């Protein structure tokens, strides 16, 4: 096994339990005496980043909602693409399993892909009917293990490449039949030098510093609010003939105890009263000078770019309505529609027998900004048709030329490649 294998890492330590001082050293690598770095090397790290980094979670959730805004259709793979009323397929898509709706199932699937780079899907069949799929489940990648044959360059089927699928569950392992599993991959590459490169990297790879900065900034702000950090030094200003007098240990303990009660929240004290002759030495930096929020905003923008989500739609800056509308259109046309097409192609391949000659797809025509685009396209086609009709009637273009101008494929047949004759009409006009 390579050091990084995104489908086979599994840790006994629960990644969602904080230890010690609130930092789980399993996920934070110490850099020097006080710095911590949020490592992103495997499935557990990715899930922890999703839980800990609120802006990352927001972006991924917004993307899942964007995918869910599309209508899932079953259509024929022929050019006509008529709607298919296959009750088995439609019922499975509408009720994928006993606890999830269609929207919940695909939102979960897209979330897993965005976090981990892939999502295993398990098909469950009734006993004795292996070709009938009754339920489908998205398998959490951080609970999933896979072995490789190491012979992928010479094999033709996925069973010859991946083998021994396992689900880590309830402190045990459940073996999964390879014929009951298929994968939905993100449209990015794997960058390892072994068989693991067959699985795409998470989009979080390369964003370690951005995630670390956001989490670190939030922790710092929390510390400033609740504990204030080491904001200064209280020292004894009393002197004798020799010089300054130090505080004795008991006085230090009493003063520190009083100081802990000071603050601006709850029932904390706002004023410290003491008989000690003390001197204050400022150590803290004004919060505004730390520019924590500005740094977080820059890191959020990097996360948004990595996930193809327009920064203007995150609400972190003031954006004009027209710019936001353009960004929404860009989100669907450049990101959601092409990625949704790829994911549904894979879903179709894994779920439906090719002999049925049907496919599952997203339809985003109902999205408001895309409806405006469709209307503009319709008006443009209407003008093209008017001009082409005139040219065709004048014998200047064929029907296939007309189709090409509209962006359609040409058709076979002599009638589609023949110019409309105007000779008979001209002779009739001259004889009259």
Do 385 and 336 fall within a single domain? Answer: no
**Are the C-beta atoms of 15 and 27 separated by less than 8 Å?**
yes
Percent of the chain with pLDDT over 70: 69
The pTM assigned to this predicted structure is 0.69
Residue 221 has pLDDT above 90, yes or no: no
Full residue range of the structural domain in which residue 338 is found: 28-211+293-351
Whose CA is closest to 102, among 72, 141, 122, 125? 72
Average pLDDT over residues 239-263: 66
User: Which of the residue ranges 187-196, 269-278, 339-348 has the most confident prediction, judged by mean pLDDT?
Assistant: 339-348
With respect to residue 21, please indicate whether it lies within any of the assigned structural domains: no
Please report the pLDDT score of residue 341 as a whole number: 95
Higher pLDDT, 60 or 31: 60
Which pLDDT belongs to residue 2?
33
Same domain, 48 and 162: yes
**270 with 399, same domain?**
no
Q: Do 276 and 305 fall within a single domain?
A: no
Cα 392 from chain centroid (whole Å): 49
- Listed in sequence order, the residues at least 6 apart from 215 whose beta carbon sits closer than 8 Å to its beta carbon are 38, 52, 53
Q: Are 108 and 159 within one domain?
A: yes
CA dist 202 and 116 (Å) reads 5
Q: Do residue 254 and residue 152 come from a single domain?
A: no
Same domain, 156 and 257: no
Residue indicated by tokens 């398990």: 122
Q: Which of 283, 302, 324 marks a domain boundary?
A: 283
How many domains are contained in the chain? 3
Give the residue with greater pLDDT, 82 vs 216: 216
The Cβ-side half-sphere exposure at 239, using a 13 Å CA radius, reads: 6
Please give the pLDDT value at position 194. 58
Q: Of 154, 156, 157, 174, nearest to 165 (Cα)?
A: 174
Are both 113 and 74 inside the same structural domain? yes
Q: Which two tokens stand for residue 403?
A: 């189709």
Are both 236 and 326 inside the same structural domain? Answer: no
- Asked whether residue 225 is domain-assigned, the answer is no
Whether 14 is in a domain gets the answer no
At residue 66, the pLDDT reads 95
**238 lies in the same domain as 374:** no
pLDDT of the residue at 426: 47
Residues 269 and 153 in one domain: no
CA angle, residues 212, 218, 223, in degrees to nearest 5 = 120
Q: Give the per-residue pLDDT at 198.
A: 75
pLDDT, tens digit, for every residue of 38-93? 788 888 899 999 999 999 999 999 999 999 999 999 888 776 556 667 788 889 99
Quote helix, strand, coil % in the chain, to nearest 5.
45, 15, 40
**3-class secondary-structure state, position 187:** coil
The predicted pLDDT at position 355 comes to 84
**Is residue 8 in a domain?**
no
Question: Where is average pLDDT lowest: 120-124, 283-287, 322-326, 372-376?
Answer: 283-287
Q: Is residue 358 part of a domain?
A: no
CA distances to 149, 159, 175, 186, 432 from 146, rounded to whole Å, are 10, 12, 10, 18, 85
**Is there a single domain that holds both residue 250 and residue 315?**
no
Contacts 24+ apart (CB under 8 A), 163-170: 165/120, 167/139, 167/143, 168/10, 168/143, 168/144, 169/143
pLDDT of residue 22: 39
Dig out the tokens for 13 from the structure. 């330590």
């Amino acid at each position: 096994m390579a050091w990084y294998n995104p489908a086979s890492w599994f840790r006994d330590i629960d990644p969602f339990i904080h230890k010690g001082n609130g930092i789980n050293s399993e996920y934070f690598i110490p850099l020097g005496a006080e710095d911590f770095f949020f490592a992103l090397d495997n499935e557990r790290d990715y899930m922890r980043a999703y839980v800990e980094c609120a802006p990352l979670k927001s972006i991924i959730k917004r993307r899942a909602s964007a995918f869910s805004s599309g209508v899932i259709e079953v259509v024929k793979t022929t050019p006509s693409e008529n709607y298919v009323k296959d009750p088995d397929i439609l019922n499975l898509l509408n009720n994928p399993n006993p606890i999830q709706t269609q929207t919940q199932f695909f939102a979960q699937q897209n979330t897993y892909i965005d976090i981990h780079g892939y999502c295993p899907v398990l098909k469950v069949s009734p006993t004795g009917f292996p070709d009938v799929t009754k339920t489908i489940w998205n398998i959490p990648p951080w609970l999933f293990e896979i072995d490789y044959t190491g012979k992928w360059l010479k094999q033709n089927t996925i069973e010859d490449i991946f083998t021994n699928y396992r689900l880590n569950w309830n402190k045990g392992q459940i073996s999964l039949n390879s014929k009951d599993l298929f994968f939905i991959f993100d449209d990015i590459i794997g960058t390892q030098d072994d068989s693991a490169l067959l699985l795409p990297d998470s989009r979080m790879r390369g964003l370690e510093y951005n995630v670390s900065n956001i989490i670190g900034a939030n922790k710092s702000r929390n510390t400033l609010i609740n504990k204030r950090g080491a904001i200064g030094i209280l020292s004894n200003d009393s002197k004798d003939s020799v010089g300054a007098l130090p505080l004795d240990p008991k006085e230090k303990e009493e003063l520190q105890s009083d100081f802990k009660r000071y603050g601006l929240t709850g029932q904390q004290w706002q004023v410290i009263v003491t008989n000690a002759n003390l001197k204050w030495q400022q150590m803290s930096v004004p919060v505004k000078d730390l520019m924590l929020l500005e740094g977080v905003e820059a890191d959020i923008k990097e996360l948004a770019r990595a996930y193809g989500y327009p920064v203007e739609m995150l609400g972190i800056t003031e954006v004009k309505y027209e710019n936001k509308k353009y960004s929404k259109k860009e989100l669907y046309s450049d990101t959601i529609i092409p990625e949704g097409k790829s994911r549904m192609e894979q879903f179709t391949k894994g779920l439906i027998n090719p002999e049925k000659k049907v496919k599952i797809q997203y339809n985003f025509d109902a999205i408001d900004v895309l409806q405006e685009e469709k209307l503009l396209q319709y008006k443009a086609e209407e003008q093209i048709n008017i001009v082409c009709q005139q040219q065709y009637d004048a014998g200047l273009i064929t029907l296939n030329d007309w189709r090409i101008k509209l962006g359609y494929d040409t058709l076979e047949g002599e009638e589609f490649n023949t110019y409309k004759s105007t000779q008979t009409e001209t002779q009739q006009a001259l004889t009259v």
